[in-house]
């Protein structure tokens, strides 16, 4: 099953910028940009759960 990234739509619905999201979740702007554009190939465990890694 293909994984679809709808981050841009969610950001638009919540009227939130990528910078705001980056500050709230602790993921760098560059990484969020890769995720948003659908270029991401994989996600590290440390990104998914930064507190435990």
Partner 1 sequence: MKALGKGSIAAIVEAGLGITRIVLWALIGLWAAAFLAYLAFVGLISTGALNPSLAELGNGQNLHIRILGSDGAAIDNVQWTDWHLIVPALLIAGVGIGGALIIVTQLRLMFLSFRSGEPFRRENANHLRVIWITMVAIELSRYVLMGLTAALLYQVQDPSVSAISLSLDGERLSTWGSILILIVLAEVFREGARLKEEQELTI
Residues at the interface with partner 1 (CB under 8 A): 27, 31-32, 34-35, 39-44, 47
Residues near 19 by beta carbon (within 8 Å), at least 6 away in sequence: 29
The residue among 4 and 41 lying less far from partner 1, judged by its C-beta, is 41
The residue among 15 and 49 lying less far from partner 1, judged by its C-beta, is 49
Phi-psi region of 17 (alpha: psi -120 to 50; beta: other; left: phi over 0): beta
In the complex, minimum distance from the CB of residue 9 to partner 1, in angstroms, rounded to a whole number: 19
The residue among 12 and 25 lying less far from partner 1, judged by its C-beta, is 25
Cα–Cα distance measured from residue 44 to residue 18, given in angstroms and rounded to the nearest whole number: 20
């Amino acid at each position: 099953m293909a994984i679809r990234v709808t981050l841009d739509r969610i950001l638009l619905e919540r009227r939130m910028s990528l910078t705001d999201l980056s500050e709230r979740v602790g993921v760098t702007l560059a990484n969020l940009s890769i995720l948003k554009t659908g270029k991401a190939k994989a996600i590290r465990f440390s990104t998914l759960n930064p507190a435990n890694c």
